[in-house]
Amino acid sequence: MSETERQTEGPADVQQKAGNWNIDLLLDVELPIRVSFGKSEMPLKDVLKLGPGSVIELDKSVNDPVTIIVNHKPIAKGEVVMVDGNYGVRILEVESAADRIRSLG
């Protein structure tokens, strides 16, 4: 390895090469989780007219899967369910663990 390569290596590079990843250090980190039912765009004049009882049409149907987003990255698909009178999401499809960790970058 050249001197230039050694200078550009950071601690993560060294740990990865040595195989010393300790993910246990990160397991207690809290991340924001969001569920996306769909999206829509509308002119500002229509947004200003919104009030109680207004309906915003989304780009998905009721039966389409929702997207589970962690730290602003989509990681899974699911379906909306009711749990003791509250909404929940049943996971249908999940990215691989490696892809999820890589996307959290």
Q: Can you give the pLDDT at residue 47?
A: 96
| pTM of this structure | 0.62
Q: What is the pLDDT of residue 85?
A: 93
Which of 28, 86, 95, 97 has the alpha carbon at shortest distance from 68? 95
Q: What is the pLDDT along the chain (105 residues), one digit of tens a residue?
A: 444 444 555 555 544 554 566 778 888 888 899 999 899 999 999 999 999 999 999 998 888 999 999 888 889 999 999 999 999 999 999 988 887 777 666
Q: Is residue 100 part of a domain?
A: yes
In a domain, 20, yes or no: no
Q: Residue 69 is part of which domain span?
A: 28-104
Structural domains in the chain (count): 1
What's 70's domain CATH number?
2.30.330.10
**Residue 15 confidence (pLDDT):** 46
Please report whether residue 35 resides in a domain. yes
Coil, helix or strand at residue 58 = coil
Identify whether 49 is part of a domain. Answer: yes
**3-state SS record for the chain:** CCHHHHHHCCHHHHHHHHCCCCHHHCCCCCCCEEEECCCCCCCHHHHCCCCCCCCCCCCCCCCCCEEEEECCEEEEEEEEEEECCEEEEEEEEECCHHHHHHHHC
Query: Does residue 5 lie within any of the structural domains?
Result: no
